[in-house]
Amino acid sequence: MKTRAIIIAVLLLAVVAGAAVAQSVTYVVTMTRGETAYVTCDGANRLRAERQTDLIVLLTCGRAEQAQPTATPAATPTSQPPGDMTDMTWHAPGAHGDRPAHEHGDPVPQWVRDAGYDPMFAHQAGTPGENMPYWKHTGFKQWAGSFSGQEWFGVFHLDFNPGGHVSRFHSYQLWVRDGTGAVSAISGWLDFGEGNSTGPQVVETCGQDSGIRPIMLVTLPGCPVRFENWYARAGGSGGWAPDFGFNINPNYYRGGDPADPTTWTATGGVRNIERRIEFAWYLGGQGIRPAPRGEFYATQWGDLVSGPADPVCGTQRTYGERSYTVLCLRQYVAPTVQPMVFPGNAVQRTFPGEGVVLPN
């Protein structure tokens, strides 16, 4: 095929525009030059089209949104991402399109696919523009593990670099298979800021630690290189979601133009293949922060809503100088999933990264 266009149509009955996740049905249509596609949307009053690149359009069947979200504080890439699925899903370490050689962590476990899910980087709970510039795309890291006798798999947008240091919200998708074989699936935005701040709560360090939460703890140039710490707001706005913390051997010091990687100061080599994650999901254990069970809907921040037609869906929420479209996302927490708490809720690994280069 000389020219390819991919239309990803997430056709959900009466689902809010921009909403998504877990058990939505995703259709991937590859077209050749001269072909056309006719897509209809049942059970809703609008088919929303969101352009991902020149060759990729995401279609969502749902109610109209009131305004488009503000773009993320990152520059437009000098060249467009490739118009194929390499840019949307996990692949072995390597380069593609305008993306230098990089890695995305673990491949999707078979049990996730067997449960009917097809994890992708372009997903409805994503933050605006997070898969566009190459230094954003390389921030998608997948992770598979086991806590408390339950298997888990996550897709996290973790651009540990000066570009990521200016973004308050970063998306996550999490699946957990409990001892009965039931699979829970949740998604949303990790919040690294406070109150009405536009950006995250960044604390600069020259070797000392900090107990501030939420936080992005970054190292200043000229100081000893220490792991960069990202701790999100505990439980999200609704309090039912997990607490997430990430520690990474950083590739960059603090500083430089967030939209120009040529101005970033490297710490020396590709260090960020060494990563640590910890998360605690209390789920009401010992009376601590219960979560709804079964299917329910929540905003990307975790606020519970009545469903995909809740009046808040598609409205605008403002944090500081930026406004975001409120997404109403389907969540599923199995009745049988058990709490995942300390001890045994953290793991540190060095991921395969042969041949990868900055920014990874």
Q: What is the pLDDT of residue 133?
A: 96
| Residue 77 falls inside a structural domain | no
Beta bridge partners of residue 277, listed in sequence order: 246, 347
| Residue 32 falls inside a structural domain | no
Question: In this structure, are residues 271 and 219 in contact, taking their beta carbons and an 8 Å threshold?
Answer: no
In this structure, what DSSP letter does residue 106 have?
S
Domain count along the chain: 1
Closest CA to 79 of 100, 94, 58: 100
Per-residue pLDDT of the chain in tens (360 residues, 90 and over written 9): 333 333 333 333 233 333 333 333 345 555 544 444 645 555 444 455 554 444 456 666 554 333 333 333 333 333 344 456 889 999 999 999 999 999 999 999 999 999 999 999 999 999 999 999 999 999 999 999 999 999 999 999 999 999 999 999 999 999 999 999 999 999 999 999 999 999 999 999 997 777 889 999 999 999 999 999 999 998 888 899 999 999 999 999 999 999 999 999 999 999 999 999 999 999 999 899 999 999 999 999 999 999 999 999 999 999 999 999 999 999 999 999 999 999 999 999 999 999 999 999
Amino acid at 136: K
Question: In this structure, are residues 322 and 189 in contact, taking their beta carbons and an 8 Å threshold?
Answer: no
Question: In this structure, are residues 255 and 265 in contact, taking their beta carbons and an 8 Å threshold?
Answer: yes
Q: Which residue has the tokens 């998708």?
A: 173
Phi, psi of 93 (to 5 degrees): -50, 135
Q: What is the pLDDT of residue 41?
A: 55
* 3-class SS string, 195-210: CCCCCCCEEEECCCCC
Question: In this structure, are residues 360 and 350 in contact, taking their beta carbons and an 8 Å threshold?
Answer: no
Amino acid at 349: R
Amino acid at 131: N
Residue-number span of the structural domain to which 257 is assigned: 86-350
| Residue 224 falls inside a structural domain | yes
d(CA 239, CA 20): 20
| Residue 148 falls inside a structural domain | yes
Which two tokens mark 58?
A: 């995401």
Please tell me the pTM assigned to this model.
0.81
Q: What is the pLDDT of residue 66?
A: 33
Which two tokens mark 99?
A: 């993306």
| Residue 296 falls inside a structural domain | yes
| Residue 278 falls inside a structural domain | yes
| Residue 36 falls inside a structural domain | no
d(CA 52, CA 9): 12
Which two tokens mark 227?
A: 């792991």
Which two tokens mark 343?
A: 């001890």
Long-range contacts for 86-91 (Cβ within 8 Å, ≥24 apart)?
87/53, 87/56, 87/121, 87/122, 87/131, 87/137, 88/8, 88/56, 88/120, 88/121, 88/122, 88/131, 89/119, 89/120, 89/121, 90/119, 90/142
Hey, is 183 helix, strand or coil? strand
Hey, is 311 helix, strand or coil? coil
Phi, psi of 114 (to 5 degrees): -65, -25
Helix, strand, coil % in the chain, rounded to nearest 5:
5, 35, 60
Closest CA to 135 of 78, 91, 216: 78
Rounded (5°) CA angle 114-300-346 = 60
| Residue 310 falls inside a structural domain | yes
